[in-house]
Amino acid sequence: MCLFCKIVNKEIPSNIVAENDDFFAFHDINPKAPVHILAIPKLHVDSFAETTPEMMAGMTSFIQEITKTENIKDSGYRVITNIGENGGQEVKHLHFHILGGAKLSWDHLTDSNPKAFL
């Protein structure tokens, strides 16, 4: 069972933000912003590449609700999902990073050097 499946099953503790029948949200253990929450489906899906429009419909509402309860809806926020090797995905269970609570720069979430590819 993967790390995030164990978190959903509460075999591994997490700082829970929200939960319903299909989705689960918890604070990232290594926050990159004042608000850094991970929203995941309870059903194991490897990444965005394998999700369905139906799952994304529920996920969209779930994320939007979290931005209200966390008070970042009006100030703005960022939603990111990393996919696969080049996307920098470390945990192979679909998750959306919800980042906010401060003005986010574009490059502070990456340690890659674009010039290295030129």
| Binding region for ligand AMP (CB under 6 A) | 3, 12, 14, 26, 28-30, 38, 82, 88-91
Per-residue DSSP letter, 105: P
**What's the rounded Cα separation, in Å, for the pair 83 and 97?**
12
- As measured in angstroms, the least distance from the Cβ of 93 to ligand AMP is 8
Q: Which of 36, 93, 95, 108 is catalytic?
A: 95
95 is catalytic: yes
Interior CA angle at 72 toward 69 and 78, to 5°?
A: 120
Q: Which is nearer to ligand AMP, 25 or 72 (CB)?
A: 25
Residue owning tokens 């309870």:
42
CB of 27 to ligand AMP, least distance (A): 7
Q: Pick from 1, 35, 5, 32: which is nearest to 17 by CA?
A: 35
Is 62 or 96 the residue whose CB approaches ligand AMP more closely? 96
